[in-house]
Amino acid sequence: MPELPEVETICRELAPLVAGRRITGFELFWERTLRGIEPRDFQQRITGRSVRCLNRRGKYLVFNLDDGYSFSVHFKMTGSLVAGSSDGHVPPYTRALFRLDNSTVLYFTDPRKFGRIDSLSSGLHPITKLGPEPLGDGFTVDCLVGLLAGRRAPVKSALMEQKLIAGIGNMYADEALYLARIHPLRPAESLNPAETAALHSAIREVLLAAIERKGATVSNYTRPGGEAGRAQEGFKVAHRRGAGCPCCGMPLERITVRQRGTYLCPRCQK
């Protein structure tokens, strides 16, 4: 699933292609991809409008149009936005597409059909309930202390709860907890001040490193130009069961934390 680094990469790489461009058409091939508005209404609402800017909020990519209207794209497990030309070739698993006035076409591909395009005109949109951005100025150590206080849930589950912290998913939670040397099953409220500070630093370090490498391609994620990300090449534990811990050499383990596959070093993360 594209997480914060992947969506941030998509946002940065798409922005120069779409900012200031006029949307000339929209086609929907899978009805459930569009939420919050009827397809015909959405097509009429965005056609002829220019894209003022793109931004990311958590795992959502947000298109802001010149008349103040906005819509989001959530990639879920297997979604991607691929920039192509209007040569008639539609990539496999395309669920929707946007045509721009410079002959660029944005193809929303999604093999498993879980991804969503959603109007932001409703106050019920999930984006309004997201927690703070982990790379934002407001996400301080004290902020993290407050977010984890009183939570008996495993710390990994707390990190992935989008209402607490926006954008962190499975693999980056594993990487941050390993870097901070914290076991993913520890109750969130049990972290002492030093551990919370270490986790705060690890979250930022892991996310920034992944953005630098253009996100992680471990399944379907691709960048807008079709290229893969390289963040997975720097993973210490995520998706590396059986490999040796980079610190102590102990074989890494995979456990389940609230139905999510979780990777850790049993020696370094006691």
pLDDT at 124 over 90: no
Q: What is the pLDDT of residue 121?
A: 78
Q: State mean pLDDT over 227-242.
A: 96
- Average confidence (pLDDT) over 242-270: 96
Mean pLDDT of the chain: 96
The per-residue pLDDT for range 59-96, each reduced to its tens digit, is: 999 999 999 999 999 999 999 999 998 877 899 999 99
Please, are residues 76 and 115 in contact by the beta-carbon 8 Å criterion?
Answer: yes
Catalytic residues: 2-3, 59, 260
CATH 1.10.8.50 fits 141-264, yes or no: yes
**Alpha-carbon distances of 48 from 23, 40, 42, 98, 177, rounded to whole Å:** 5, 14, 12, 12, 46
Among 181, 183, 180, residue whose Cα is nearest residue 203: 180
pLDDT tens by residue, 156-193: 999 999 999 999 999 999 999 999 999 999 999 999 99
Residues 98-117 have a mean pLDDT of 96
pLDDT of 219 reads 83
Quick one: pLDDT at residue 85?
85
Q: Tell me the CATH number of domain 4-129, given options 3.30.590.20, 3.10.20.30, 3.20.190.10, 3.50.50.60.
A: 3.20.190.10
Q: What is the 3-state secondary structure (H, E, C) of the chain?
A: CCCHHHHHHHHHHHHHHHCCCEEEEEEECCHHHEECCCHHHHHHHHCCCEEEEEEEECCEEEEEECCCCEEEEECCCCCEEEEEECCCCCCCCEEEEEEECCCEEEEEECCCCCCEEEECCCCCCHHHHCCCCCCCCCCCHHHHHHHHCCCCCEHHHHHHCCCCCCCCCHHHHHHHHHHHCCCCCCEHHHCCHHHHHHHHHHHHHHHHHHHHCCCCCCCCCCCCCCCCCCHHHHCCCCCCCCCECCCCCCECEEEEECCEEEEECCCCCC
Query: According to the model, what pLDDT value does residue 78 have?
Result: 94
Residue percentage of the chain with pLDDT more than 70? 99
Q: Where are the domains of the chain?
A: 4-129, 141-264
pLDDT, tens digit, for every residue of 24-66?
Answer: 999 999 999 999 999 999 999 999 999 999 999 999 999 999 9
Query: For residue 52, which of 60, 42, 63 has the smallest C-alpha distance?
Result: 63
- 183-206: per-residue pLDDT in tens? 999 999 999 999 999 999 999 999
12: which strand partners? none
Distances (CA, A) of 268 to 178, 205, 243, 247, 249: 8, 18, 14, 8, 10
- 81 closest CA partner among 64, 66, 59, 96: 96
pLDDT of 46: 98
CA distance 28 to 80: 15
Looking up tokens 């807008």, which residue turns up?
Answer: 224
Average pLDDT over residues 214-239: 95
Q: Tell me the pLDDT band of 122, cut-offs 50, 70 and 90.
A: low
Q: Which two tokens stand for residue 24?
A: 């000339």
Q: Taking the model in full, what pTM does it have?
A: 0.95
